[in-house]
Amino acid sequence: MAGGFLKARKKISDNLLLFRHRLAFFSSSPLQTETKSPPSIPPFVHVPKPYTGISGAEIMEKRKQFLGSSLYHFYKTPVNIVEGKMQYLYDENGKRYLDAIAGIVTVSCGHCHPDVVDAIVNQTKLLQHASTVYLHHAIAEYAEAMASKMPGDLKVVYFVNSGTEANELAMLMARLYSGNLSMVGLRNAYHGGSTGAMGLTALNTWKYPIPQGEIHHVVNPDPYHGSFGSDPLPYARELQDHIHYGTAGNVAGFIAETFQGAGGAVELAPGYLKLAYEIIRKAGGVCIADEVQSGFGRTGSHYWGFETQGVVPDIVTMAKGIGNGLPLAAVVTTTEIANVLAAKIIFNTFGGNPVCSAGGHAVLKVLDREKRQEQCASVGTHLLERLRAIQQKHEIIGDVRGRGLMVGVEFVKDRVEKTPATVETGLLFEKLKDLGVLVGKGGLHGNVFRIKPPMCFTKEDADFLVDTLDYAIDTM
């Protein structure tokens, strides 16, 4: 009896000791973050003006009543953004946010960059609009500056209003020049919202069930999810097979983003475009590079995304960062290809208008003078190193990828199956907003953070972003 009592007492004592050891472990464990303070946003010298407009709640009601229900918004409680300055945004209450998505990869120089604002304002005071049926110096000077940034014989510039328009015009050029109809694109691509550009897009979340023309999509050379990893050769063989078996044998053109944007910041397998361009040209087609998101030095290593693959396209489309927020886009091609449009009248009412031309030209000057490409390389390298460091700590981070300030962070339930952690990504997305960081989301399943901030982004900003993400995962 006494022996049984002593054994029971010893068991209780052992259990109590084990409990104390576990309590001590969790009290000192980095997983225990109740007492850990959230990171602080870097200091910034700017005082936003007091906001006197209608509230975010009132704006939502007006959107529901007067705007299309197809408009979607970020966050359960959307942020009412009322002011921006460089890499920061302010809401109606004066709260400052780090903008790590740049107005969906549109703000290149920085929000309300004074040089760009001055160029727009000064031109607006002189002449707000004159179409290309008249002469105006702004469009001519801007086209010359843009052509100087292009390699090879890419010297003829057409200005339009959006990336969608640019890709539509590029597809028209390809079909007219080649005399063929079939266009080839990549799965997981996004090229715009018009009927034609939607046809080029290969994400079901962005497509309506309507006829979309003679368009083919081939296997995406995705180093993370692709069946062949980062080996470009099998993907190129699949492209060749598709032309043999899925088309009439000749094609009009091939379009690809070097860094897929809406698809989740996916950089194509190294060397793929060189192989693909050779196959397409042998099939009678032209090669189109969609630089809507990756152009103007954002990759850091090169001015244009296609240069990272060592190729020169026949046509280049660009938008977003080209105007730092202006409705501006462009198609650049060779004289030979451009001449096919001379058979008819090609006209765009607002393409290359004086105000957008002045603003776009100012953007080029700012990016050069402030050495933003070099900054993207330096800050982007630092950002990727920091993200990969916390990837080692958090199993939910399946992949960190990108170049310069074109970065993607993919969240998964398990690293072997790469099952999308869609719900968890949504929770982190909300948490980061509450902590003062705005990022984008992408990928078919919405489980990729798109980190593509204004190009004035600093290492201090990168540290704040990563520390905030680390904190958010710890406390989720």
* CATH code assigned at 199: 3.40.640.10
Do 334 and 465 fall within a single domain?
Answer: no
Looking at the structure, tell me whether residues 86 and 137 fall in a common domain. no
Q: Are both 460 and 379 inside the same structural domain? A: yes
Separation of alpha carbons 264 and 350, rounded Å: 31
Domain assignment of residue 295, given as a range: 114-369
Decide: 245 and 267 in contact? Cβ < 8 Å.
no
Q: Cα separation of 297 and 145, whole Å? A: 15
136 plus 254 within the same structural domain: yes
Q: Is there a domain that residue 131 lies in?
A: yes
What do you get for the CA distance between the two ends of the chain, in Å? Answer: 50
Write down the H helix ranges in 89-183. Answer: 102-105, 114-126, 137-147, 163-178
100 and 18 in one domain?
Answer: no
Contact indicator for 83, 90 with CB cutoff of 8 Å: yes
User: Do 210 and 315 sit in the same domain of this protein?
Assistant: yes
Q: Is residue 325 within 8 Å of residue 363, measured between CB atoms?
A: no
The answer on 229 and 134 residing in a single domain is yes
CB 268 within 8 A of CB 221: yes
Do 364 and 386 reside in the same domain of the chain?
Answer: no
Q: Does residue 46 lie within any of the structural domains? A: no
Total number of domains constituting the chain: 3
Strand-pair partners of 286: 253
Judge if 359 and 470 occupy the same domain. Answer: no
212 plus 349 within the same structural domain: yes
Say whether both 2 and 90 belong to one domain: no
Q: Where a domain ends, among 302, 337, 369?
A: 369
Three-state DSSP at 234 gives helix
pLDDT at residue 66 in the model = 96
Which of the listed residues 369, 398, 426 is the one where a domain comes to its end?
A: 369
Longest dimension (CA), the chain: 109
CA distance 148 to 146: 5
Query: pTM of the entire structure?
Result: 0.91
Q: Quick one: 333 and 290 in the same domain?
A: yes
Identify whether 239 is part of a domain.
yes
Q: Give the pLDDT of the chain (476 residues) as one tens digit per residue.
A: 444 544 444 444 444 433 443 333 333 334 444 568 999 999 999 999 999 999 999 999 999 999 998 898 999 999 999 999 999 999 999 999 999 999 999 999 999 999 999 999 999 999 999 999 999 999 999 999 999 999 999 999 999 999 999 999 999 999 999 999 999 999 999 999 999 999 999 999 999 999 988 999 999 999 999 999 999 999 999 999 999 999 999 999 999 999 999 999 999 999 999 999 999 999 999 999 999 999 999 999 999 999 999 999 999 999 999 999 999 999 999 999 999 999 999 899 999 999 999 999 999 999 999 999 999 999 999 999 999 999 999 999 999 999 999 999 999 999 999 999 999 999 999 999 999 999 999 999 999 999 999 999 999 999 999 999 999 999 98
